[in-house]
Each structure stands twice: as C-alpha cells, then as structure tokens.
C-alpha cells in the first residue's frame, strides 16, 4: 500500500542536483584548504589572490569574536579602486598617490597643504653583478619629512651609511619601513634599477 506520497520527480532531481553541487563545491574547497592538492603546483608558496588582504575577522590578528573586528572595513573593499602591487598590501601606493586615487594629508588639519618634495637621486654602487641601487628622494619625500630619516636613520653623508641586504632584512636602514609598512624587498628591480656600465656620475637625472 502506497501510504507515503512520493514527491514529484522534478523536485527529487532538483534536490539531488543541489546536494551534488554542494558536495562538489565542498570537496574543492576542502582540498584547496588542505593543500592536499598537487605538491608540484605552480608557485605553491605564493598566496593566491583570493587569500590576499583577508577581512579583519579572518586575518589571524583580530579577535574574530570581537564586535570591533566585525565593524572594521575589510581592506579589499578599500583596495579595489587602487592600483595593484606585487607585494606587501598588494597595492602600489606611489602610483595611487601619483594618479590621485588617494589624497592623504600632508598636514593633520590642513587638507590643502603641499608636501616639500626633493628630487634628488642617490646611486649606490653594489658589489657583484647586481645592478646599482637608485634611491629616489622624490617618491619618499612625498610621504615623509626630512627629519623622519635624517640624521637618525641615514647620515646625509657619502660613505657614512653601511647598508647590506641583511641589515635591511633585520629592520635597519631601509628596513625600518620596507618590509614592515612599505613594500618588502622581494621585488629586486624596484631598487636595483641601474644596470652597471652606465656612466652617470654626478650628472642630471633623466626624470
């Protein structure tokens, strides 16, 4: 005796389809999370774009149960309109400033204050085959004041500053900011930009 009424075939199919889809999605997600995926996957140490700039409740530092963390703006929302970078925040802050996408104040109270920008390049020769380092004051003085670095971090004198990659990684000299707030040193050519052999001693810049 057929006491129970079978639901129509269509509803059944839909339920099955949805569950299967769900199961498939979950499997994919689980494997993505587990990293049980291919150990030879391309660029396995790199964070895929989906994992960059996580919202405060998932970033590992904020307390996900706190009301504060839930009310804070997720970085991705803010970064969506800014030029992309390759490291750090994955935002190119210098470009964002140049293109006018952001208008950070130079003075706490005066939004119209203009920065004092110095256009001076320092070329540091390096040993070996790495291109020489070009330090551009222009991009830095748009953000910082002279006193932020001079003389506390860099003595403004030729030969007075010992800078090595290790000291930068340790958080000294350039590493006071780069590797902490400004872009980390993973992108070599951003600093090591003057190929050796070019005669540029004490000449004008080509900006």
Partner 1 sequence: MMRINRHTRGWLWVVVLSAMMTAYSNVIHSAGHGPQAAKPGAVSEQALSNKLQLLDRLVHGEGLINRVSNSDDAEAKQLLSEAQALWEQAEIKFEVGNYKAADDYARQGLSTISTVSRKVVDTGREAAAGRARYDQLRKRVLDFTEAFQRVVSEKPGESIGPLLDQQAVSRLLLEAEEQMQEKNFTIANQRMVEAADIVEFALVRARDKDTLLHELKFDSPEDEYRYEQQRNNSYKLLVDMLEKEKTGNSSGLAQMREAVKENARICGMADKLVEQGDIEAGIRTLEEGTEKLARVLRMSGLVF
Partner 2 sequence: MSYKRNPRAIRLATVIGLLVLIAGLFSGRAVYAEYGDVVINNYSDEAGMSPVVFPHWFHRIRFRCKVCHADLGFQFKAGGNDINMLKIIEGEYCGACHDGDLAWSVENCDLCHSGKPGTSTQVHGSTLQQLVGPAGGGAGK
What is the binding site for partner 1 (CB under 8 A)?
4-7, 11-12, 15-16, 18-19, 22-23, 26, 33, 45, 57-58, 60, 63-67, 70, 116-128, 137, 146-147, 150-151, 156, 158-159, 162, 164-170, 185-186, 188, 200-205, 207
Cis peptide before 151 (omega within 30 of 0): yes
31: partner contacted, choices partner 2, partner 1, none (Cβ within 5-8 A by kind): partner 2
Total residues belonging to the chain: 207
Encoded one letter per residue, x for contact with partner 2 by CB under 8 A and - for no contact, window 49-88 reads --xxxx-x-xxxxxx--xxxx-xxx-x--xx--------x
- Residue 170 as a binder of partner 2 (CB under 8 A): the answer is yes
Contact 182, 88 (CB under 8 A): yes
Dihedrals phi, psi of 47, to nearest 5 degrees:
-75, 125
Separation of alpha carbons 78 and 98, rounded Å? 17
To 5 degrees, how large is the angle CA 128–CA 131–CA 136? Answer: 135
- Residue 112 as a binder of partner 2 (CB under 8 A): the answer is no
Separation of alpha carbons 117 and 142, rounded Å? 6
- Residue 26 as a binder of partner 2 (CB under 8 A): the answer is yes
Contact 85, 91 (CB under 8 A): yes
108: partner contacted, choices partner 2, partner 1, none (Cβ within 5-8 A by kind): partner 2
- Residue 106 as a binder of partner 2 (CB under 8 A): the answer is yes
Dihedrals phi, psi of 189, to nearest 5 degrees:
-70, -10
Record the tokens describing residue 132, joined without a space: 């020489």
- Residue 176 as a binder of partner 2 (CB under 8 A): the answer is yes
- Residue 139 as a binder of partner 2 (CB under 8 A): the answer is no
Separation of alpha carbons 124 and 158, rounded Å? 10
Return residues touching partner 2 (CB under 8 A).
Answer: 6, 9, 12, 19, 23, 26-27, 29-31, 33-36, 47, 51-54, 56, 58-63, 66-69, 71-73, 75, 78-79, 88-89, 91, 93, 102, 104-109, 115, 142-145, 147-148, 153, 169-171, 175-177, 179-181, 184-185
């Amino acid at each position: 005796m057929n006491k129970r009424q079978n639901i129509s075939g269509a509803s059944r199919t839909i339920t099955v389809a949805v569950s299967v889809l769900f199961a498939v999605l979950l499997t994919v997600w689980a494997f993505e999370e587990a990293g049980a995926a291919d150990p030879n996957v391309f660029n396995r140490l790199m964070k895929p774009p989906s994992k960059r700039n996580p919202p405060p409740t998932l970033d590992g530092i904020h307390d996900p149960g706190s009301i504060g963390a839930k009310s804070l703006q997720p970085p991705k929302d803010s970064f969506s309109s800014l030029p992309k970078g390759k490291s750090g925040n994955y935002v190119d802050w210098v470009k964002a400033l140049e293109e006018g996408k952001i208008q950070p104040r130079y003075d706490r109270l005066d939004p119209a204050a203009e920065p004092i920008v110095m256009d001076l390049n320092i070329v540091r020769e390096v040993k070996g085959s790495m291109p020489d380092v070009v330090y551009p004051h222009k991009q830095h003085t748009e953000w910082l004041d002279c006193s932020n670095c001079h003389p506390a971090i860099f003595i403004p004198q030729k030969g007075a500053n010992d800078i090595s990659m290790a000291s930068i990684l340790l958080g000294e000299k350039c590493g006071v900011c780069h590797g902490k707030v400004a872009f980390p040193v993973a992108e070599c050519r951003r600093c090591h930009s003057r190929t050796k052999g070019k005669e540029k001693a004490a000449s004008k810049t080509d900006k």
